[in-house]
A and B are shown apart, each in its own frame.
Chain A
Amino acid sequence: MKSLRDVSVGRKLLMSLGVTTGLALLVVVLAVSAGSLLRLQRSAQQQLLALADITGTNSQAALSFDDTRSARDTLSPLLSNPLVETAAIYDRDNHLFASIPARDGRFVFSPTFDADPDKDTITLRDLLSGRAVVARPIVLSGERLGTVMLVASLAPALHGWAADVGLMLAAAGAAFASALLLAFSLRRLITVPLEKLSEAANAVATDQDYSRRVAFRSEDEIGQLVGHFNDMLAQIEHRDREIMELAFYDPLTHLPNRRLLLDRLQQALAASARHRKHGAVMLLDLDGFKGLNDTWGHDVGDLFLSVVARRLEGCVRECDTVARQAGDEFVVILEGLSESDDAVIEAENVGRKILQAITEPYQLEMTPEGVQLRRNYQCTVSIGITLFRGNALSVDELIKRADTAMYQAKASGRNTLRFFDPEMQSRVLARALLDADLREAVRDGQFILHYQPQVDRAGHIFGAEALIRWPHPQRGMVSPADFIPQAEEIGVIQEIGRWVLESACKQLAAWAMRREMAHLTVAVNVSPYQFRNPDFVEQVLAILERTGAQPQKLEFEITESMLLGSVEGIAEKMVALKAKGIGFSLDDFGTGYSSLVYLKRLPLDQLKIDRSFIKDILSDPNDAEIARTITALAHGIGLEVIAEGVETEEQRDVLIHQGCVAFQGYLFGRPMPADEFSELVLRSQVCAIPSAMEVADAP
């Protein structure tokens, strides 16, 4: 059994409304009924008294002269009044003088009058019994002549009244029902927001989701309750965030703290296990931070740490994590590095970037107690790095390894980085050595140029491709494939490129002096880095002028990779150079993202069929078809074609058959020093002088 307290609010509202409405209606009905009954009583009374008085007056004479008939005549019209049931007159001795038969015949008058001679009121009891009697004395000039008595039948009036009351009750019932119906729909105004509130509170409790809000607006108490509820949620949410912040973030630098770091590292390991990509853990320790704290106090030390934190964040990508482990120790997690061993280099690059960023001078400004302080400071950092791939190693183990590596960095004189893995370390070391050697080579001019002959169909040499060689005192001959990318990375490619161009131009100028070699052209490889240099055109022109080389004999070999960026700037430069007479050859054609659009928009002279198509041109019909198509395409748009990597006569014959007119490859000669090349040219001319003339006229 539910107690009233447990009944729902909606039902409570309905009940209270029902009870009050019902009571009110009942009171109204009772009051009106009672009033109407009283009015009925009073009106019956007044009417009966008036009738009695008139009748009395009119029967005075009849009484005086003992005329019963006349008295009856006076009485009988009374019956026309529906209220009157019967009437009688008694004489002064209270004997029945005259009477008329009752309407329903049931009332008999007593022969002597034995009641109140002046009964001029009708009581409620009379009324309810349905019959009332009034009596009035008949007086003439103060002399009582007799009494008139009226008997009234109140039943019809009473019935009418009862019908009225019934009607009223029915109306009240209808009003009550409609009030309940109305209340039933109106109670939603109160219950719906309450239900919402309750639902929201429940959802918050089960989901622990404090960002939820109850959407309900009103100015009443429920609206206020909703407002307070939302405020409370906001406070809880805010406190939660604060707790989160305290629990997972370092309050000073706002970097993740050790706890969050471990969590992130765990996730990074899992991600690495999925993607098979390398990741790196770097442990950083600021060199000499304790000294800063001791000299200038902790406020400056704290400020410094926050600046360091911002610089560290600037060195890594969005997906990487920078955390403050403790004091002046930071940890960086790198994710999504290469799957290959290049990851070492990538990690190292980030490490170097950090080393550089941290060593930038610091200007620490602060205003303690209104006094402005400015401190200049410089600092270094020691970095220990360890790589991971998959989740074979635990989080703790990784951090321990990074820590070990960091101590090695400290031990080796600080301001440096160390890998935990000795092999990795040696790779890094080797790279660092190569860097140093490259810089030395550029400084000391250790590079030389070799020339590979380029021949026509008849086998006559018409030019050469200049190729850089690095004969290192210890390393021996270093391949360009090994050092050019590194040179591009450390930025010495510009100087190397300039040197190559200058050397080739000098050679051209030298050949021009000799009649037998004046016709030779030189193709020079130009790196995209060189080409992007805004001063490139001026540089080239300056070299041409300085060396006196003929631009018409100079050809630049560019790769498709150069065209990946914005083509516009490059095309402009090409057009400028072309105007001076320099030719352009598109190297490695067919291997990159070749777009025929370039062929149309760039001022090219020649396509160079890549050696990979030549190699299998005899065995692979596809390669043969590609070579043939490139040749046909080039001829179609007015370009020349040169095939590189031609090693056999059969290959050459096929290419000749396809329409190719220029060739380069071991078949005709390896890349060789300039004097060797000169000898080759002279020797071949001795054998076939007429062809030389032909070649000289050719391109």
Chain B
Amino acid sequence: MPSKRPLPFIRLLLAVLTLAWGTCHAQTSPEPQIKAAFLVNFLKYVEWPEAKPTATICLFGHDALETYLTRVEGRPVAGRELRLRRVTHPNQTADCDVLYIPEHEEARFGIVLRWVDRQATLTVSDAEIFTRYGGAIALVRADGRLQFDINAQALQRAGLKPSSQLMKLARNAKDTR
């Protein structure tokens, strides 16, 4: 804290500079990167019924976030090793912990969701209406930042337990509050 700084002037200057940089930095993160971070973070706040040493994120279709996810593949997340897989076929989704379907694949939402129906898979999309299809989490942009809606029923069907903190952060949870 400011207590050990030698001169008040320098302290003030530094404070102004860092404040400016910090704001800039937050604003300039690319959207796909934030989405990627969200996907990884969901692994931390959702509990799967079966404890596995790996956490597999499956991607249906193409999306820019893939680049960012590839960077963190193999790293441990919440004690599990992160795996990444592209899926195009129902038999590829059996061990998907997270299944991401981008907005532009809206037409296949129903089909893909049926692939993982009643399976411990957290379904995520960046389409706001995803939850109405029965998807678990929809990433939405609101108030100038990325947020998410949670379909608690979907999570329950999949046998997943979101942490209460996660539930509190959900936009729809806040709205209903």
> A: which residues have CB within 8 A of B?
58, 60-62, 64-67, 70, 95-96, 110-112, 114-115, 133, 140-142
CB distance from A84 to the nearest CB of B (A): 16
Does B169 contact A95, Cβ atoms closer than 8 Å?
Answer: no
A contact residues around B169 at 8 Å (CB): 61-62, 65, 67, 70
Does B166 contact A111, Cβ atoms closer than 8 Å?
Answer: no
Does A96 contact B22, Cβ atoms closer than 8 Å?
Answer: yes
CB distance from B148 to the nearest CB of A (A): 8
B162: nearest chain-A partner, CB-CB: A61
Known A-B contacts A95-B22, A111-B19, A140-B44; A65 and B168 likewise in contact (beta carbons under 8 Å): no
Within 8 A of A (CB), among B1-53: 1-2, 15, 18-19, 22, 25-26, 34, 38, 41, 44-45
Does A66 contact B44, Cβ atoms closer than 8 Å?
Answer: no
Within 8 A of A (CB), among B142-177: 145-148, 163, 165-166, 168-169
A contact residues around B18 at 8 Å (CB): 95, 110-112
Let me know if B78 is at the binding interface, CB within 8 A: yes
Known A-B contacts A61-B163, A65-B41, A110-B2; A141 and B78 likewise in contact (beta carbons under 8 Å): yes
Let me know if B90 is at the binding interface, CB within 8 A: no
Q: What would 21 A/B residue contacts be, using CB atoms closer than 8 Å?
A: A61-B163, A61-B165, A61-B166, A61-B168, A62-B169, A64-B44, A65-B38, A66-B34, A66-B145, A67-B147, A70-B169, A95-B18, A95-B22, A95-B25, A96-B19, A110-B1, A111-B19, A112-B18, A115-B1, A140-B44, A141-B79
Give A536 to B148 CA distance when docked, in angstroms.
Answer: 165
A109: nearest chain-B partner, CB-CB: B1
Contact pick for B45, options A64, A66, A110, CB 8 Å: A64
B contact residues around A112 at 8 Å (CB): 18, 22
A contact residues around B15 at 8 Å (CB): 110-111
Give A434 to B15 CA distance when docked, in angstroms.
Answer: 157
Question: When A and B form their complex, which 4 residue pairs have the shortest distance between CB atoms, in order from nearest?
Answer: A61-B165, A111-B19, A95-B22, A64-B41
Give A177 to B79 CA distance when docked, in angstroms.
Answer: 70
CB distance from B173 to the nearest CB of A (A): 10
A contact residues around B1 at 8 Å (CB): 110, 114-115, 133
B contact residues around A114 at 8 Å (CB): 1
A contact residues around B22 at 8 Å (CB): 95-96, 111-112
Give A493 to B41 CA distance when docked, in angstroms.
Answer: 163
Contact pick for A61, options B19, B45, B145, CB 8 Å: B45
Give A67 to B147 CA distance when docked, in angstroms.
Answer: 8
A contact residues around B25 at 8 Å (CB): 95
CB distance from B47 to the nearest CB of A (A): 12
CB distance from A243 to the nearest CB of B (A): 94
A contact residues around B38 at 8 Å (CB): 65
A142: nearest chain-B partner, CB-CB: B79
CB distance from B147 to the nearest CB of A (A): 8
Give A255 to B61 CA distance when docked, in angstroms.
Answer: 154
Give A114 to B5 CA distance when docked, in angstroms.
Answer: 10
A contact residues around B148 at 8 Å (CB): 65
A contact residues around B147 at 8 Å (CB): 65, 67
Give A95 to B25 CA distance when docked, in angstroms.
Answer: 10
A contact residues around B34 at 8 Å (CB): 66
Give A624 to B38 CA distance when docked, in angstroms.
Answer: 170
Known A-B contacts A65-B41, A133-B1; A70 and B19 likewise in contact (beta carbons under 8 Å): no
**Interface of chain B, main secondary structure:** helix
Give A197 to B147 CA distance when docked, in angstroms.
Answer: 100
A60: nearest chain-B partner, CB-CB: B165
Give A687 to B79 CA distance when docked, in angstroms.
Answer: 192
B contact residues around A60 at 8 Å (CB): 165
Give A270 to B110 CA distance when docked, in angstroms.
Answer: 159
Give A64 to B19 CA distance when docked, in angstroms.
Answer: 20
A contact residues around B45 at 8 Å (CB): 61, 64
CB distance from B155 to the nearest CB of A (A): 15
CB distance from B14 to the nearest CB of A (A): 8
Give A133 to B3 CA distance when docked, in angstroms.
Answer: 11
Q: A61-B168, A67-B169 are in contact. List 4 more A-B contacts (CB 8 A).
A: A95-B18, A95-B26, A111-B15, A112-B22
Give A161 to B45 CA distance when docked, in angstroms.
Answer: 44
Give A657 to B16 CA distance when docked, in angstroms.
Answer: 168
A contact residues around B78 at 8 Å (CB): 140-141
Give A60 to B166 CA distance when docked, in angstroms.
Answer: 9
Does B44 contact A70, Cβ atoms closer than 8 Å?
Answer: no
Give A268 to B15 CA distance when docked, in angstroms.
Answer: 126
Does A141 contact B145, Cβ atoms closer than 8 Å?
Answer: no
CB distance from B142 to the nearest CB of A (A): 11
A contact residues around B44 at 8 Å (CB): 64, 140-141
- Name the residue in B22, B25, B145, B166 with the highest tally of chain A Cβ atoms < 10 Å from its Cβ: B22
CB distance from A198 to the nearest CB of B (A): 70
B contact residues around A58 at 8 Å (CB): 165
B16: nearest chain-A partner, CB-CB: A111
Give A202 to B41 CA distance when docked, in angstroms.
Answer: 103
Contact pick for A70, options B2, B79, B146, B168, CB 8 Å: B168
CB distance from A54 to the nearest CB of B (A): 12
A149: nearest chain-B partner, CB-CB: B1
A contact residues around B2 at 8 Å (CB): 110
- Name the residue in A62, A66, A95, A112 with the highest tally of chain B Cβ atoms < 10 Å from its Cβ: A66
Give A643 to B40 CA distance when docked, in angstroms.
Answer: 174
CB distance from A618 to the nearest CB of B (A): 150
Give A294 to B19 CA distance when docked, in angstroms.
Answer: 142
B165: nearest chain-A partner, CB-CB: A61
B20: nearest chain-A partner, CB-CB: A111
B1: nearest chain-A partner, CB-CB: A115
Give A502 to B19 CA distance when docked, in angstroms.
Answer: 170
A contact residues around B19 at 8 Å (CB): 96, 111
Within 8 A of A (CB), among B120-161: 145-148
Give A634 to B44 CA distance when docked, in angstroms.
Answer: 160
B contact residues around A111 at 8 Å (CB): 15, 18-19, 22
B contact residues around A65 at 8 Å (CB): 38, 41, 147-148, 166, 169
Contact pick for A62, options B79, B145, B165, CB 8 Å: B165
A contact residues around B146 at 8 Å (CB): 66
B contact residues around A70 at 8 Å (CB): 168-169
Give A142 to B38 CA distance when docked, in angstroms.
Answer: 18
B contact residues around A110 at 8 Å (CB): 1-2, 15, 18
Give A61 to B44 CA distance when docked, in angstroms.
Answer: 9
A59: nearest chain-B partner, CB-CB: B165
Give A64 to B1 CA distance when docked, in angstroms.
Answer: 24
B2: nearest chain-A partner, CB-CB: A110
A contact residues around B145 at 8 Å (CB): 66
Give A141 to B168 CA distance when docked, in angstroms.
Answer: 20
Give A58 to B26 CA distance when docked, in angstroms.
Answer: 22
Give A70 to B177 CA distance when docked, in angstroms.
Answer: 13
Give A199 to B148 CA distance when docked, in angstroms.
Answer: 104
A140: nearest chain-B partner, CB-CB: B44
Give A133 to B41 CA distance when docked, in angstroms.
Answer: 30
Give A61 to B148 CA distance when docked, in angstroms.
Answer: 13
A contact residues around B168 at 8 Å (CB): 61, 70
Give A142 to B75 CA distance when docked, in angstroms.
Answer: 13
Give A188 to B165 CA distance when docked, in angstroms.
Answer: 78
CB distance from A3 to the nearest CB of B (A): 55
CB distance from B174 to the nearest CB of A (A): 8
Give A425 to B127 CA distance when docked, in angstroms.
Answer: 174
Within 8 A of A (CB), among B41-82: 41, 44-45, 78-79
A contact residues around B79 at 8 Å (CB): 141-142
CB distance from A119 to the nearest CB of B (A): 9
- Name the residue in A60, A67, A112, A133 with the highest tally of chain B Cβ atoms < 10 Å from its Cβ: A67
Give A58 to B45 CA distance when docked, in angstroms.
Answer: 12
- Name the residue in B146, B163, B168 with the highest tally of chain A Cβ atoms < 10 Å from its Cβ: B168
B contact residues around A64 at 8 Å (CB): 41, 44-45
